[in-house]
Amino acid sequence: MNVKKDFPIFENNEGLIYLDSSATSQSPKQVINAIADFYNKYKSNIHRGVYDLSEMSTELYEKSKEKCASFLNCNPQEIIYTKNATEALNLAAYSLTSDLKEGDEVLVTEMEHHSNFVPWQQLCKSRNLKFSVIKVNEDFTLENIENKITEKTKILALTHVSNATGSVNDIKEICKLANENNIITVIDGCQSAPHKKIDLKDLNCDFFAFSVHKMLGPMGLGILFGKEKLLEKLSPFLYGGDMIRDVRIDDTDFNDIPWKFEAGTPNVAAAVGFSAAIDYLNKIGMENIEKYENELKEYALEKLSEVEGIKIYKPKSQAGIISFNLYNNDKLIHPHDVSAVLNDKKIAIRSGHHCAQVLMDKLKVPATCRISFYIYNTKEDIDKVAEALKEARKVFN
C-alpha cells in the first residue's frame, strides 16, 4: 500500500519507522490541509451566529457528523462529539449508571483500557452498584459471559479489540446475548473503527466509542454513538452553552439530541479534519485496510518469532497489534529499555502497561512492548524491527 508519501511526518523525519498507531496515528496532508483551510477561511463559532462565517462553520461541523454516521451506518442524531474517547466513555458511564438502582450490576472485562474500566469501577462504588469483571483465558478469549449474567446485570462494557494485545472480541454475538437479556452494551471501538468496516446496525450495540486521532484525524475529538431511544432518556453529562433550549430561574429545558450532550464550543477544526480523514479512508476502502494490516501482522509474527528470547502474547483472534517481551537467560529486559534501544534506530514502538494494568497483572509482567500497524507501514519496517530487536538483546547480554 503505497501511501507513505501522503504523510508529511515521514518526510520531515527521515528514516522514521512509526509503529505506535494504536496510541495515535499519523495524519495525511489531506487532513492537515483541511484543518488549515478551516482556520484560514472559516473559523467562527457554530449554532450561534447568523452571519456567513458562522453558518459556513456550522455547515462544515454538521456535515462532518453526517459523514461519520454514514461511515458507521447509523443516524446523525446518534453521533455525539466529545473531546476524546475517554470523555465519550465517561459520558456513557456517568449517564447510564445514574439511572440504576442500588445492587444493579455492571460487567466489564480484564482486558479493558482504563477508560472503559475505571469510570465503571468508581461510579459503582459511589452509587452502591455491583462491579463485576469477566476473566480472560490464556488464549485471550473471554470466559463464558452467559455464566456471568444475572438478573441484576444491567450494563456490559467491553472492548471490540484489545489495545494491549490486539485480541478481537465477537461483539456481534456478545451484543446479541446482551440484547436477549435486556442488558445495555457499551463498546470501546478505539482499535476497531480505524482498521475495519464498522456497521453499527449489524453489530446492534447500544453505545460505541472511538477516537479520531487513531484514524488519521487530529487530536481533540472523540465519538460516542448511542441509540436514539436511549439518548433521549439519558441526562446530560456536562452543562452550559448550546446544550440548552430554555433557561429559567427555577429550571432548564435541554436541547435535542445530540446537542444536549455537547456543552460549550466544540472542536470544529477537528471535525473538519475528521471529515477529510473519512474521505481518505473511504477512498482506500476499509476492507482493503483490514486485509493489508492482517498481511503485515502475519508477516510480523513470522519475523518476530525468529528473534531469540522473545515471548509473543498471541490471541486466538488478533488484529494488527502485537505485544511481546524480550528475555535474556529467562530474565526480562524491561520494555522501556527495549524501546529506548529501538528509538536510537528511529523506530517508534510503545512500551508500558498500555493503560491496561489489570491485564498486565494477569500476565504477571509490569509491561510489554507493543507494535501496531497502519496503512503507512511496510514489510521493510518489520524487517528492521526484527533486526533491531536481535541487536537490543545483545546490548543487555
Residues making up the chain, counted from first to last = 397
Every domain of the chain and the residues it spans: 4-28+285-395, 29-283
Enter the pTM of the model. 0.96
Residues 6+ positions from 380 with CB-CB distance below 8 Å: none
pLDDT band at 141; cut points 50, 70, 90: very high
pLDDT of residue 397 exceeding 90: no
In 3D space, the residue among 333, 342, 323 whose CA is nearest the CA of residue 386 turns out to be: 342
pLDDT of residue 48 exceeding 90: no
Note the pLDDT tens digit of each residue in 359-376: 999 999 999 999 999 999
Helices 379-395 & 286-304 angle (0-180, nearest 10):
30
pLDDT of residue 24 exceeding 90: yes
User: Rounded to whole angstroms, how far apart are CA atoms 324 and 328?
Assistant: 14
Q: What is the predicted pLDDT for the residue at 394? A: 85
User: Rounded to whole angstroms, how far apart are CA atoms 245 and 387?
Assistant: 61
Query: Averaged over 240-267, what is the pLDDT?
Result: 94
Grid cell listed for 134? 469477566
Note the pLDDT tens digit of each residue in 185-223: 999 999 999 999 999 999 999 999 999 999 999 999 999
* Secondary-structure class of domain 29-283 per CATH: alpha beta
Q: What is the predicted pLDDT for the residue at 329? A: 87
In 3D space, the residue among 336, 326, 272 whose CA is nearest the CA of residue 30 turns out to be: 272
User: Rounded to whole angstroms, how far apart are CA atoms 12 and 10?
Assistant: 5
* Secondary-structure class of domain 4-28+285-395 per CATH: alpha beta
Note the pLDDT tens digit of each residue in 115-134: 999 999 999 999 999 999 99
pLDDT of residue 1 exceeding 90: no
Note the pLDDT tens digit of each residue in 81-99: 999 999 999 999 999 999 9
pLDDT band at 2; cut points 50, 70, 90: confident
From the candidates 74, 175, 355, 369, give the one annotated as an active-site residue: 355
pLDDT of residue 395 exceeding 90: no
Q: Is 124 noted as a catalytic residue in this protein?
A: no
Q: What is the predicted pLDDT for the residue at 345? A: 96
Note the pLDDT tens digit of each residue in 96-116: 999 999 999 999 999 999 999
